[in-house]
């Protein structure tokens, strides 16, 4: 993994979504770096870590992340939320709070399973097949899907296209692993045991993670709340950066101060 650190103040770590990298969080960095120390993560196979062949295994990577950035609030966007949530579930003494941004405990929807808040079960497998046939074309199509629905869709798509590959293309191997995670992971049953405060932020126009997923997830977790941004899509920090930043600030600043024992442990 690659972690870039910016700003000053309490620690806030951000994990990007599928096929992306930490540089996409630039609008949030601009608004938050004067308040927080921001740790921008590039997952293995992505961005500055694109040559890493480390497996995208949530429990292993979550442990590595909290070892490198203890006593932080963790924010995960889309696929990145699976790693942030895993860190909060497994290491509550090292995670002050959790922000899930357009990210769900279950990305696939199944009304029969009591979770209608997702995409059809075949979508991620179809993306995998398409990647093998047309790697760059499939990624371009995914960028369009991320922007779709937003009130600022054209501006968001231009920004995504301009920034998505500025650190090089992600590895096909990592992307295929990520699709498997998006298809299979289901953390709904663990949410009642979440021991840290959480904020679930969604865009009402999101075409990848229906906006109902985040309020439904927040209802399963203790000390959790959700915020739905009316005109935003799957990348709300692009088209509604002020609203997302304000929600983050309100959440983080309301968290209890770091415990002395935790801070001492981080210094060792």
Active site residues: 78, 206, 234
Q: Which residue has the tokens 């405990």?
A: 105
**Residue 36: both structure tokens together:** 């927080």
Contact 200, 228 (CB under 8 A): no
- The SS3 call for residue 136 is helix
Separation of alpha carbons 235 and 212, rounded Å: 16
**Residue 1: both structure tokens together:** 């993994």
- The SS3 call for residue 170 is coil
Cα 166 to chain centroid distance, Å, stands at 19
**Residue 191: both structure tokens together:** 């949410």
Separation of alpha carbons 99 and 260, rounded Å: 23
Separation of alpha carbons 61 and 112, rounded Å: 32
| Phi and psi torsions of 219, nearest 5° | -70, -20
Query: CA-CA distances (angstroms) from residue 204 to 39, 150, 151, 210, 226?
Result: 27, 9, 10, 7, 12
**Residue 253: both structure tokens together:** 């600043």
Q: Which residue has the tokens 């990145």?
A: 80
């Amino acid at each position: 993994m690659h972690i870039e650190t910016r700003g000053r103040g309490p620690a806030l770590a951000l994990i990007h979504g599928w096929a992306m990298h930490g540089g996409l969080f630039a609008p949030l960095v601009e608004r938050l770096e004067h308040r927080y120390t921001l740790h921008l993560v590039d997952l293995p196979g992505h961005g500055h870590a694109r040559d890493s062949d480390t497996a995208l295994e949530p429990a292993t990577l979550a442990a590595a992340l909290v070892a490198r950035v203890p006593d932080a609030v963790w924010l995960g966007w889309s696929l990145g939320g699976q790693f942030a949530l895993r860190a909060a579930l497994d290491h509550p003494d090292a995670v002050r709070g959790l922000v899930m941004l357009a990210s769900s405990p279950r990305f696939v929807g199944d009304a029969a399973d009591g979770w209608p808040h997702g995409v059809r079960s075949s979508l991620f497998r179809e993306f995998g097949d398409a990647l093998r046939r047309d790697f760059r074309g499939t990624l371009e199509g995914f960028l369009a899907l991320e922007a779709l629905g937003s009130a600022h869709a054209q501006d968001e798509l231009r920004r995504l296209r301009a920034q998505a590959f500025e650190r090089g293309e992600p590895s096909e191997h990592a992307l295929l692993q990520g699709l498997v995670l998006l298809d299979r992971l289901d953390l709904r049953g663990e949410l009642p045991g979440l021991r840290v405060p959480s904020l679930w932020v969604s865009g009402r126009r999101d075409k990848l993670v229906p906006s109902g997923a985040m309020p439904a997830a927040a209802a399963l977790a203790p000390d959790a709340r959700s915020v739905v941004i009316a005109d935003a899509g799957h990348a709300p920090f692009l088209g509604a950066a002020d609203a997302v930043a304000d929600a983050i600030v309100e959440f983080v600043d309301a968290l209890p101060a770091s415990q002395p024992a935790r801070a001492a442990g981080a210094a060792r």
